[in-house]
Amino acid sequence: MLPKRKLDELLPVRFRNGEQVKQFSKPCVRCGTMLQARDMEGAARLVEDHLAIAATARCPKCGDSFGIACVVDNTKRVRRVIIPAWAFGLYLRNLPTQAGELNPASAPDAARPQSEPDTPPSQPPRVEHRNVVRADELVGRYGDKPIPAWVVVDGAQLNFERVELGDRVAPGEFLLDGCLVYRAA
């Protein structure tokens, strides 16, 4: 497992799209003082195209300490992770060094029980015949493909999440046109 480190030693982190996270700050939950990466200790790791942060912040002003668990995407949008910071930190520090293992669906086949010898190894079925409605509103283009801001798949609205080239789609995500990933907000 990786040791806990001060977050300012782990930054900056650069995403594949060139965006960089140089600073990470958060107000103290008790007194509101803005804490910086140097006031936080834990793990910050690039997982696919997200920077995952799990840390304990200690306020130099009031002495309070609290957990931080969040994910920063490659547009620097920060989202909270809804599991305790310590559990997320253990997970992150135990994560193998190569990226791409956040998604359990992409775990190696060796972890699964052996199938019957005469059964050919099968890919997970890709559902292509779903009822998909594309938004007219576009958030951009990828090559010559317009990127709808959202899609409605079988009645559920999903928002554009990212462009995916490695075919890594997590449970609950929907792959449009083979490279655009959508998920529930």
Per CB under 5 A, 34 contacts Zn ion = no
The one-letter amino acid at 163: V
Could you say which of 33, 56, 65, 159 contacts Zn ion (CB under 5 A)?
33
The C-alpha atoms of residue 45 and residue 98 are separated, in whole angstroms, by 11
CB nearer to Zn ion: give 39 or 161: 39
Give the C-alpha separation, 8 to 44, whole Å. 10
The closest alpha carbon to 9, from 36, 28, 37, 35, belongs to: 37
Residue type, 74: N
If we measure between CA atoms, which residue out of 179, 177, 176 comes closest to residue 166? Answer: 179
Among 10, 28, 55, 68, binds Zn ion (CB under 5 A): 28
CB of 14 or CB of 61, closer to Zn ion:
61
CB of 64 to Zn ion, least distance (A): 5
**Residues from 52 through 111 that contact Zn ion (CB under 5 A):** 59, 61-62, 64
CB closer to Zn ion, 34 vs 87: 34
